[in-house]
Amino acid sequence: MLNKRQGGFTLIELVITITVLTIMTMGVIPLVKVSVRRQKEQQLRDALREMRTAIDEFHRDTVNMPGVQQVPYVDPRSKVVISDATIFGVDNPDRYPPDLETLVSGVNVVQRMPPGIPGQQLSTKKKVYLRSIPIDPITGKAEWDLRSCYDGADSSSWGGENVFDVRSKSSDTAMNGEKYNDW
């Protein structure tokens, strides 16, 4: 009778294989964590850019509103003008949005007429500047630190007059060494 060895792995071979796979896996985990963090930071930058662009566009659309001192130069990107001045309080003469919800719910606008051309504003439409308030990817909530144009740059509280800028509520440190709430 012949003694044939059956194919398979020995215990030593299995232990070595599992050890090598474990070492390789442990080397990949930190790379995945850094990749996820980098992705969240990019999402934060995108959300801040989206909200700041909406705030700036809103402010551009307030130039030469009815009942406001007229200025000779109007940004050519602004095709409409906000027609409802009642959304601004007396403590908001600079006409920034009163809150982020105003950017989501929209405001009544009319077509901006070119200078020197008399025209009748025919129809009022509603313009929405943001579809929704973005979620802060660092905190996981749609809550942001707001800054009024009357607040100091290093102010930690919002005056409530208007929304001039937004920041993350997270005080964690980013990969570049800055605090998220300083972006």
Q: Are 81 and 57 in contact (CB under 8 A)?
A: no
pLDDT for 102 beyond 90: yes
The pTM of the full predicted model, rounded to 2 decimals, is: 0.78
Instruction: Over range 98-113, report the average pLDDT.
Output: 90
> 45-91, pLDDT tens digit by residue?
999 999 999 999 999 998 877 766 677 777 888 888 888 878 887 88
Q: Domain of 131? A: 11-182
- DSSP codes, the chain: ---PPPP---HHHHHHHHHHHHHHHHHHHHHHHHHHHHHHHHHHHHHHHHHHHHHHHHHHTTTT-TTS---S---TT--EEE--GGGS-TT-TT---SSHHHHHH-EEEEEPPPTT--------EEE-S-SSPPPBTTTTBS--EEE-TTS-TT-SS--SS---EEE-S--PBPTTSSBGGG-
Asked if the structure places residue 32 within a domain, the reply is yes
What CA–CA distance (Å, rounded) separates 182 from 169? 10
Return the number of other C-beta atoms located less than 10 Å from residue 74's C-beta.
Answer: 16
Asked if the structure places residue 6 within a domain, the reply is no
Asked if the structure places residue 2 within a domain, the reply is no
Asked if the structure places residue 71 within a domain, the reply is yes
> 129-168, pLDDT tens digit by residue?
999 999 999 999 999 999 998 888 777 788 888 999 999 9
Asked if the structure places residue 126 within a domain, the reply is yes
Asked if the structure places residue 1 within a domain, the reply is no
Least confident of 96-100, 122-126, 131-135, 173-177: 122-126
Asked if the structure places residue 91 within a domain, the reply is yes
Query: What's the total number of domains in the chain?
Result: 1
